[in-house]
Amino acid sequence: MISERLLANFGIALEAVFANKMRSILTGLGIIFGVAAVIAMLAIGSGAQQEILEQIRLVGVNNIVVTPVVEQEEEELEEDLGVEEKKKYSPGLTLRDVEGIKRVVPGISAISPEILLETYIIKNGLRRSAKLVGVEPAYFDLTSFNLLEGKMFNAEQLKKGEPVCIIGKSIKTRFFPTENPIGKTIKCGQHWLKVIGVLEERLISENAIANLGIRDYNMDVYAPIKTVLIRYRNRDLVTKSMLRAGGSPGPSRGRFVVIGGNNEADDDDQKAVNYHQLDRLVVQVDQTEMLNPVADVVSRMLQRRHFDVVDFEITIPELLLKQQQRTKSIFNFVLGAIAGISLLVGGIGIMNIMLASVMERIKEIGLRLSIGAQKKDIVLQFLFEAIMISVSGGLLGVAIGIFIATTISNVAEIPTIITLSSIALSFGVAATVGLIFGITPARKAASQDPITSLRHE
C-alpha cells in the first residue's frame, strides 16, 4: 500500500516535470554546471597529483642530488669574484668525493655517481645521437629502473671497466628491431660495446622533462663508470691538450672543451669549461627527516674538500616536489570549493523555482487535498520533483564534466584522471542538494488550506 502511494506520487511529480520541460531544464542548470565543474576540477587535481607522484618516483625517494657548477668565463670571474678568488684551486666533483661521503657521512643507504656524455650510436649503417651514461648498479635501484631482459653489470666488469652496456628500450627498438640485442655489439662513439641488458620502457611526460630536467631515458646507453673513465673521458686527468690550452685543474685552468668523447683543445671563444670528473651525484639517505641535515653535512664536506670553492649545487627534489604538491592541493581545494559553491547556488535555484511553482499550483494542491490526498502526499510530490530535477541535472553534469576533462587533456595536454569517487561524490552532492532544498517548498505546499486553495485564482 505504501509502495503504491509512493509510485503514485512519483508519477504525478514526473508528469509535472515533463509538463514544464523548459522550467525544469533552467532550474537544473545550476546543478548541471556545478557537477560538471566538480568533476573537471577533481580530474585536473588528480592528474596533477599523479604526475607529481610519478616525478617523485623518477627522481627517487629520500635523494639528495649534487650537480657540478661549470665555471664562468674568466673575465666574468675576475669581475664577480676578484683576482684572488679566481685563482683558487678546486679538483671538482670526483670519485674521491664519493668515497669520502661513504666513509664520513652517516645515515646514507646508497650513493650513485654519474658521468654523462653526448655521443652517437652506429649500427648497420644507422646513426643517431644518444647519451652514454657511466653509472654503478646503485643507479638503477635509486631510479627504480628494471631490466626487461639480460643481466646487470657484474663485479669484474665494474672493476676492470670492460666494454659492456645496458641499453634503453628505444635503442633496442631502433637498432635491433628484429633480433635479440643481448650479446650483440653496438658502436657508441669511438668504441664498440657489448649489450648485456635491456631496460624496461620508462614513460615520461613532457612536463616532467621540463620541470625536472629529466631526459628520455629510453634513448640512453648505460656503461660501468670505470668503462667511461678509461675508454672515453676522464676530466680528472691532465692531458696534453689541456697543457697546450694553458689549463690546470680547477677554476683557474685555461679554456678547453671535450668533444665526442676525446679531450681536445678548443678555440678561445669557449665561455665555460667543465673540469668535474662527475656530472651528477645522487645520495640516498635512510630517513626523510634526515634529508636536510645530511645535505648540509655533504655541502660542508664538499666545500672543504674543494678548498672553499663552491663549484657544486645541492638540491632535494623530493622536498621541492612535495612543496609543489602541497601548493597544487591548496589550489585544487580552492577550485573544488568554487565548484561546490556553484552546486549550492544550483540548490538555491531549485528552491526558488519550486517555491514559485507552489504559488502557481495552489489550486492543484487544493484539489488533491479535497479528494483525499494527505499532506505527506503533497510533500512527497514536490520533494520528488526537486530530486528528479537535481538527479537528472547531476547525470547530465557528469557527462559534461567527463567531456570537459577529456577535452582539456587532449587540447591543452594537461593530464586529467576521472575517478569513480569524484563522479559518486558530485552526483551524491547533487541528489542531496535536491533533497535538502526541496523540503521547504514541499512543506509550504502541504501547509496550504484546501478550501482557500480551491478559491485561489
pLDDT at position 386, please?
A: 81
pLDDT at position 57, please?
A: 60
- Would you call 443 exposed, middle or buried from its count of C-beta atoms within 10 A (0-12, 13-18, 19+)? middle
Number of Cβ within 10 Å of residue 79's Cβ equals: 11
CA distance 170 to 204: 13
- pLDDT (tens digit per residue) in 103-132: 988 888 889 999 999 999 988 888 999 899
The three grid cell numbers given for residue 30, joined into one nine-digit string: 545550476
Rounded to two decimals, the pTM is 0.59
In Å, what is the CA distance from 21 to each residue of 24, 288, 400, 435? 5, 59, 20, 20
Q: State the virtual CA torsion across 101, 60, 120, 166 in degrees, nearest 10.
A: 90
Name the residue among 101, 91, 75, 149 with its Cα closest to residue 282.
Answer: 101
Judge contact between 159 and 226, C-beta under 8 A: yes
Confidence of residue 385 (pLDDT cuts 50, 70, 90): confident
Name the residue among 23, 8, 43, 9 with its Cα closest to residue 393.
Answer: 23
- The pairing of beta strand 257-259 with beta strand 220-224: unpaired
Confidence of residue 156 (pLDDT cuts 50, 70, 90): very high
Per-residue pLDDT for 96 more than 90? Answer: yes
pLDDT at position 73, please?
A: 45
Q: What's the rounded mean pLDDT across residues 428-439?
A: 79
Contacts of 431 (CB under 8 A, 6+ apart): 387, 390, 391, 394
Contacts of 407 (CB under 8 A, 6+ apart): none
Q: Which of 57-61, 131-135, 245-249 has the lowest mean pLDDT?
A: 245-249
DSSP 372-385: T--HHHHHHHHHHH
pLDDT at position 260, please?
A: 38
pLDDT at position 111, please?
A: 92
Q: What's the rounded mean pLDDT across residues 132-145?
A: 89
- Would you call 269 exposed, middle or buried from its count of C-beta atoms within 10 A (0-12, 13-18, 19+)? exposed
CA distance 455 to 248: 107
CA distance 383 to 440: 9
- pLDDT (tens digit per residue) in 225-281: 999 999 998 988 866 555 455 554 555 443 333 333 444 334 444 445 788 999 999
Residue with cell 655489439: 185
Angle (CA) 189 144 175, round 5°: 35
C-alpha gyration radius of the chain: 35
pLDDT at position 101, please?
A: 92
Number of Cβ within 10 Å of residue 160's Cβ equals: 12
Confidence of residue 324 (pLDDT cuts 50, 70, 90): low
pLDDT at position 265, please?
A: 37
pLDDT at position 60, please?
A: 64
Give the SS3 label for residue 90.
coil
- pLDDT (tens digit per residue) in 23-53: 778 777 878 888 888 888 888 877 877 776 6
Number of helices (H) and strands (E) in the chain: give both, helices first.
17, 12
Name the residue among 92, 40, 23 with its Cα closest to residue 281.
Answer: 92
Judge contact between 323 and 55, C-beta under 8 A: no
Per-residue pLDDT for 299 more than 80? Answer: yes
pLDDT at position 197, please?
A: 94
What DSSP designation does 185 have? E
Name the residue among 441, 440, 433 with its Cα closest to residue 387.
Answer: 433
Please report, for the chain, the start and end positions of each structural domain, with discontinuous segments joined by +.
2-55+323-455, 62-316
Give the SS3 label for residue 245.
coil
The three grid cell numbers given for residue 134, joined into one nine-digit string: 657511466
CA distance 166 to 196: 6
